[in-house]
Amino acid sequence: MFGLIQNRLVLKQKYEVRHGVFAGLRALAAVFASVACAHGLAAELEIRFATAYAADNFQTMNLQQFAREVNNVAGGQLKMAVFPAGTLLKPAQIFVGVTEGKAEAGEVIMSSLAKEIPVFGVDSLPFTVRGYEDAYQLWMASKQEVEKALNKRGLKLLYSVPWPPQNLYSRKPLTSLADFKGMRMRSYNPASERIAELAQASAVPIQVIDLEKAIASDRFDLMITSSWTGVETKAWSKMQYYYRANAWIPKNIVFISNKIFSRLDADIQGKIMQAAEQAEKRGWDMSRDSDAVYENQLRSNKIKVDRVDAMLRNNLDRLGEQFVREWLKTASNEEVAILLKYTTERSMK
């Protein structure tokens, strides 16, 4: 009898010890969980940026720096990652892909979407901006409408950075618009397509990630792009002439899904927007500073860097006027208001 009682006592003690240990472990686990939560470890949000441009392109390097900065200040609530060169979404799919939730964020060149979102077309009206100062003024005049257009599609603008001025590359010397006739001209947005048509050349659409190969394999004779892209694609492999036509200074936009952004604390949202403002400023500086350096690289690779001959300049300006006349016929009040605001402010400087 005594033995039995003793046995039960031992069992009871064992139970209590075990129970105590479990309770202790449970308490400890709860503490860990709350610490993890406080540091956001439990709910780290992945934000993937889809971009068409190569990892060593200045636009992508700027985006990577932005992502790093945000990750550093986000206290583990989120992790931004950049997928360059169309590795997450194909270049033409990036904008729609982010609206459909296939990526949380993305970067595109605004004017490539001018058909779908006409207000983006203001960014590539030919011969409308003379340099970076004008380009910035145009950005200030259009930013609100761009934000509205994005918002309508469930997207939030983070920042916008221009490419260097868009100039003319050619395999042969160009002295007038007649030289364009019958040529194959690479295009990357509706404006470059329309210019090819107006010049009686044929437009050959090619994404920048395919451009180096397309040049090397003789797929076209002429292109309008920046000094940067000419260097990146080794334009000198087939083209020896570069004219400063200064067609436009087109901008990329970097955006995030509103749904994702709204899941973040207000404090983190503020930090993201602060980093975005810095990225915009840094990107404009990178673009501006790179142009002369990259034109020099074109020169050292035996490309003749020149201004446009008087006759061709005249032809191009008239072509630009025709383009803008056509545009005015279909432009909405908002688009015309942007142009008016820009030209008015520019004339007051």
Chain positions contacting ligand PCA, by CB under 6 A: 109, 163, 188, 208, 225-226, 228-229, 250
Residue with Cβ nearer ligand PCA (44 or 218): 218
Distance CA 10, CA 115 (A): 82
**Angle formed by the axes of helices 132-152 and 333-347, to 10°?**
160
Distance CA 130, CA 343 (A): 12
Of 224, 212, 228, residue with least CA distance to 183: 224
Distance CA 143, CA 272 (A): 18
Beta carbon of residue 215, minimum distance to ligand PCA (angstroms, whole number) = 11
**Angle formed by the axes of helices 190-198 and 310-330, to 10°?**
120
User: Would you say how long the chain is, in residues?
Assistant: 349
Element (H, E) at 269: helix 266-300
Beta carbon of residue 226, minimum distance to ligand PCA (angstroms, whole number) = 3
Beta carbon of residue 272, minimum distance to ligand PCA (angstroms, whole number) = 25
Residue with Cβ nearer ligand PCA (226 or 246): 226
Tokens describing residue 2: 């005594």
Output DSSP code: residue 207.
-
Residue with Cβ nearer ligand PCA (47 or 208): 208
Residue with Cβ nearer ligand PCA (249 or 312): 249
Beta carbon of residue 246, minimum distance to ligand PCA (angstroms, whole number) = 12
Residue with Cβ nearer ligand PCA (252 or 315): 252
Tokens describing residue 212: 């180096």
Q: Which residue is nearest to ligand PCA (CB)?
A: 226
Beta carbon of residue 310, minimum distance to ligand PCA (angstroms, whole number) = 26
The SS3 assignment for 110 reads: helix
Beta carbon of residue 169, minimum distance to ligand PCA (angstroms, whole number) = 10
Residue with Cβ nearer ligand PCA (163 or 180): 163
